[in-house]
Structure 1
Amino acid sequence: MRSHAVHTHAPAPRPECRLAAIRPRHAGPVLAMAFPVDLRRCQVLGLTGTAFLALGGETAGALPTPDLPAPASARAALGLVAVYFGVVLLIAAWALLGRLVRGPRPPSPRALLLVLAVWATPLLLAPPLFSRDVYSYLAQGAMVDAHLDVYAHGPALLGGPLADEVAPLWRHTGAPYGPVFLAAASGLFGLTRGQLPAGLLGMRLLALFGVALMAAALPRLARAGDADPAAALWLGALNPLVLLHLVAGAHNDALMLGLLGLGLVAALGRRPLLGAVLITLAALVKAPALLGLVAVVVLQVRAGRRLLPATLSTLAAAAAATVVATAVAGTGYGWIGALDTPVSAHNWAPTSLLGRATGALLGRLGSDLAPLAVPAWHTLGLAVAAIALAAIWWRRHPRPVYALGLSLAVVAAFGPAIRPWYALWGLFLIAAAAPSASVRHRTAAVTAVLALAVLPGGGPADTGQLVLAVSGGALALVVLFQAHQVAHLPALERTA
């Protein structure tokens, strides 16, 4: 925060750059405090938020087991408060940055990329946050390195300290990921020689590489669809979900989305075969990216090519990429059967919630159909998703990238499992090709809610933890409110 002397003849600050400024009503220098909403101050506010996230994560994050403090300890409590204090500051900084992006002189894409780098820096060396999935990634990479069938067995077969870090739910579950990601995880395990701190840093760097690909693709996708590149970067790359879950959580969704974005850029640039290969590699990280091949076909048809040749060439390129990638990874084709990996019994996907509620009701009524409730709702959800996808593409949507974003959002919403970072599947492309500002605003509102949805340790919440999380968020709101109030106080008149 900067203080400076202001005189009665000084010009008023520009409205697009300041929330408020305190100015004297009489001559004579006074000390004036201002709270401008400019790019530098957004940088500082967001940096403060991610710094608190990293600091709180040291005791409340998804720590290795020997370092994990007792949930009721004072250190863990303070860490939880600090994390949610930081989350709220980050969301506020992002919202204020959105005002600048919508203003008369928006920051350039290059300036926004600098903001992203500044905000992400404290998270680089922070412990994993909001999920323990990164330990599963490392254990699965170790299994591939040891020539164990990662699709037939869970990390429990590996044994040892690394397997002990995997969440109990997934220790006996095969990997649901494709050979491209498992090859990267195996190479990373070999490079770090199984050292956990180095492995965690390597996984985060891999996720940052994916985020960098996303950030590189967004402006190009936006320009191709006559959208605003700065707005696309703000919503698709500086989004709190990206920082919280792709960077701090080191999720492999970052690599999937980065490759998907590059593939779409290639397809839009009249290189459909390269686009099909890149999108296939993305799907060999996580399967939902496979829908991108539909966009490649549609883009070719819009460019004047007939449907059948466009489809056949795209499928041929995808098949060739799949064969080569699987052969290089050496994992075999078990990933096809792993697509039906079971989901958590406590997963809060809409179909899972409805299935559990229906099962409980049937159980009270004494019906033998109660165990079938959850599978039935999952099947219904997949059917609804299939119908919605057909409707989206049957219309021959004028914005194929936007249609793909809607499709991925549908898959995430109606699938059998959902996590907050799954929202990024569709959000990334909706940000790049949103047809209107109102669509971006609604998407941003969903982001702000989901950013607060998961505890930093990645486990289920109890009442005490919820109270601490709410306290941290409330404290940040109080700080922001007080800063806003101070900015609007009348200047104290100097007395003789």
Structure 2
Amino acid sequence: MPNTGANAHPGRYRWLGLLGSLALAAGGLTSGALPAAATGPALRASGGAGTVLVFAGLTVLTAAWLLLGTTGRRAGGQLRPTTRWLTATLAWWAAPLLLLPPLFSRDAYSYLAQGAMQASGFDVYADGPAVLGGPVAQQVPQVWQHAPAPYGPAFLLLARAAAPLADHPYAGTLLLRLTAVAAVAALAALLPALARRFGTDPAAALHLGALNPLVLLHLVAGAHNDAVPLALMLAGLLAATHRRPLAAATLITLAALAKAPAALALPAAWWLAATAPEADGPGRRRGRFGGRWRPLRSAAATVLAAAVTTVAVTAASGTGYGWVSALTSPATKGSWSPTSSLGRLLADLAGVAPEGPVAVARLLGLAAAAVTVCLLAARVVRGTGEPATALALAFAALVALGPALRPWYALWCAVPAAFAVRTANARRTVELACAALAFTVMPDGFAPDSAELVLAAEGLAAGAAITLLTERQVTFQERQPAC
């Protein structure tokens, strides 16, 4: 029998994950989202052996992550992984992905184009990258050429900082990746801290929220801009648990001004700040505005900080408030989601054009998500639900029922779930969902054809064989590597 689970030394899974990350990086050099100079106008990568390597490495990396999650109990005289050890493992797995072209999406090129548009005086909330023309716009897929930026002014300030490198796509995307990596490092520090505040396992939170393959694939390798707002949101929640509503609301509003879904955390932060245990001892008098006035005081501080931050950041960006109307840009006519698929199915059954049914299905999905959020909030207010758990479920509803679903969107649920989940079964469910989503996109970010699906299946089979062989014939030294 393979030496898996609690009886296996976690060090072997660190090495196994590193092997997967190296294979993933090697394959991405030819099959990733390469600059247009290497792909031509179609922006499609050559695939071939690179695609096989990517999916083999992805399989090995994901298996190592799942197996590492089974070593959570003391067994055979070996200790479970500590947060320090897991942080070092995250660095090992992320290192091979740092210098690659973007993987699994070309969104990083869109970020560069939007920064260049601002620097050139264009309105990013009215025009798409096509107005730029030239090599910068050539990097952006056709579906986004005329789409306004769907991001808030806080992120566009970061994008504008990268504008001088827009004509050098490799250097520009590398700068964006370094920003994302810094945010992932912040996640690795914040997750254990939040877990301690909520009474959950810090090491388990770090494993689920930071070593997650979706983090490595899409925040590190893909350089997606979800990394910064996720880190800001967690920092805001941590501030709220310390009864600092002004700081919490400011940080979460900054996150929402980068990507709008982060705004869901504002009510959670208010409730946490209002209900957190008193910091002063029993022998000390509470402040004049303590006790029963704390909820009102926290609410006022939250609203004030959110309003001031929104006005200040919007003014600093110089973009105006066009970002409010541009928030629907991620959902195109062809965007996939469960609700969009339902609308298209109903249109096929009725023999009508899909636009109407899809629009109705998307609206109903958003309405169902809103109802779910309200029900979760009511449970928290009644004392039958926990704020962190409710926040994770609220994000899950928004992701599942929203008009567009992409694998990295699941991190908005998985990251808060990392420090909110208390049962092993619930944690395993989140892990398996993330593992499945890791295999849903191709290395170049485009939909696969039949030949690419065959290559992906070959890579998946090769990765599974490597994992099984490694588990049966362990060749790594059975001792924990030094951090």
**TM-score when scaled to structure 2?**
0.89
Q: Residue 57 in 1 paired to residue 28 in 2? A: yes
1:356 CA displacement? 0.9
1:50 CA displacement? 1.0
- Structure 2: which amino acid aligns with 1:43? R
Q: Residue 297 in 1 paired to residue 270 in 2? A: yes
1:342 CA displacement? 5.7
Does the CA-based 8 Å contact 1:54-1:127 persist in structure 2?
A: no
1:77-114 superposed Cα distances (whole Å, 9 cap, x missing partner): 10000000000010111122112234452111111110
Identity of aligned residues (%): 48
Counterpart secondary structure, 1:238: coil
1:247-281 superposed Cα distances (whole Å, 9 cap, x missing partner): 11100011110100111111111111101000000
Q: Rate the CA distance shift 1:193–1:446 in 2: closer, same or farther, 3 A.
A: closer
Counterpart secondary structure, 2:146: coil
- Structure 1: which amino acid aligns with 2:428? H
Alignment of 1:200-239 (within 5 A): 200-239=173-212
Alignment of 1:166-181 (within 5 A): 166-181=140-155
Match of 2:13 among 35, 42, 54: 42
Match of 2:82 among 108, 131, 134: 108
Say which structure, 1 or 2, has more relative contact order (CA 8 Å, 6+ apart): 2
Alignment of 1:372-391 (within 5 A): 372-391=356-375
RMSD: 2.1
Q: Counterparts of 1:353 and 1:464 in 2: how far apart (Å)?
A: 24
1:382-401 superposed Cα distances (whole Å, 9 cap, x missing partner): 11001100110101154212
Q: Residue 455 in 1 paired to residue 442 in 2? A: yes
1:157-209 superposed Cα distances (whole Å, 9 cap, x missing partner): 1111011110110010000001111001101223x364222101101001111
Larger radius of gyration: 1
Q: Could you say which residue in structure 2 is the equivalent of 1:241?
A: 214
Q: Could you say which residue in structure 2 is the equivalent of 1:494?
A: none
Match of 1:417 among 404, 420, 423: 404
Structure 1, 224-233 or 106-115: larger mean CA deviation: 106-115
1:41 CA displacement? 2.2
Alignment of 1:70-85 (within 5 A): 76-85=47-56
1:403 CA displacement? 1.3
Q: Could you say which residue in structure 2 is the equivalent of 1:281?
A: 254
Q: Counterparts of 1:77 and 1:49 in 2: how far apart (Å)?
A: 18
Q: Could you say which residue in structure 1 is the equivalent of 2:393?
A: 406
Q: Could you say which residue in structure 2 is the equivalent of 1:361?
A: 349
Structure 1, 370-379 or 414-423: larger mean CA deviation: 370-379
Does the CA-based 8 Å contact 2:244-2:273 persist in structure 1?
A: no
1:393-413 superposed Cα distances (whole Å, 9 cap, x missing partner): 101154212211111111111
Q: Residue 185 in 1 paired to residue 185 in 2? A: no
1:216 CA displacement? 1.3
Q: Counterparts of 2:85 and 2:15 in 1: how far apart (Å)?
A: 14
| Structure 2 gap segments, 5+ residues each | 277-290, 476-483
Does the CA-based 8 Å contact 1:69-1:75 persist in structure 2?
A: no
Q: Counterparts of 1:424 and 1:74 in 2: how far apart (Å)?
A: 26
| Structure 1 gap segments, 5+ residues each | 1-14, 21-35, 489-496
Q: Could you say which residue in structure 1 is the equivalent of 2:427?
A: 440
Q: Could you say which residue in structure 2 is the equivalent of 1:99?
A: 70
1:70 CA displacement? 11
Q: Residue 118 in 1 paired to residue 92 in 2? A: yes
Counterpart secondary structure, 1:327: helix
Q: Could you say which residue in structure 1 is the equivalent of 2:303?
A: 315
Q: Could you say which residue in structure 1 is the equivalent of 2:113?
A: 139
Q: Rate the CA distance shift 1:370–1:417 in 2: closer, same or farther, 3 A.
A: closer
Q: Counterparts of 1:239 and 1:371 in 2: how far apart (Å)?
A: 36
Aligned residues: 451
Q: Could you say which residue in structure 2 is the equivalent of 1:24?
A: none
- Structure 1: which amino acid aligns with 2:359? P
- Structure 1: which amino acid aligns with 2:244? R
Does the CA-based 8 Å contact 2:119-2:163 persist in structure 1?
A: yes
1:309 CA displacement? 3.5
Counterpart secondary structure, 2:3: strand
Q: Could you say which residue in structure 1 is the equivalent of 2:338?
A: 350
Match of 1:90 among 42, 52, 61: 61
Does the CA-based 8 Å contact 1:129-1:244 persist in structure 2?
A: yes
Q: Counterparts of 1:339 and 1:354 in 2: how far apart (Å)?
A: 22
Does the CA-based 8 Å contact 2:154-2:314 persist in structure 1?
A: yes
Counterpart secondary structure, 1:44: helix
Q: Residue 468 in 1 paired to residue 459 in 2? A: no
Q: Counterparts of 1:307 and 1:266 in 2: how far apart (Å)?
A: 16
Structure 1, 151-160 or 102-111: larger mean CA deviation: 102-111
Q: Rate the CA distance shift 1:413–1:429 in 2: closer, same or farther, 3 A.
A: same
Q: Could you say which residue in structure 2 is the equivalent of 1:324?
A: 312
Q: Counterparts of 2:74 and 2:385 in 1: how far apart (Å)?
A: 28
Q: Counterparts of 1:432 and 1:53 in 2: how far apart (Å)?
A: 28
Does the CA-based 8 Å contact 1:59-1:69 persist in structure 2?
A: no
1:409-449 superposed Cα distances (whole Å, 9 cap, x missing partner): 11111110110000000110001111211110100010110
**TM-score when scaled to structure 1?**
0.87
Structure 1, 294-303 or 116-125: larger mean CA deviation: 294-303
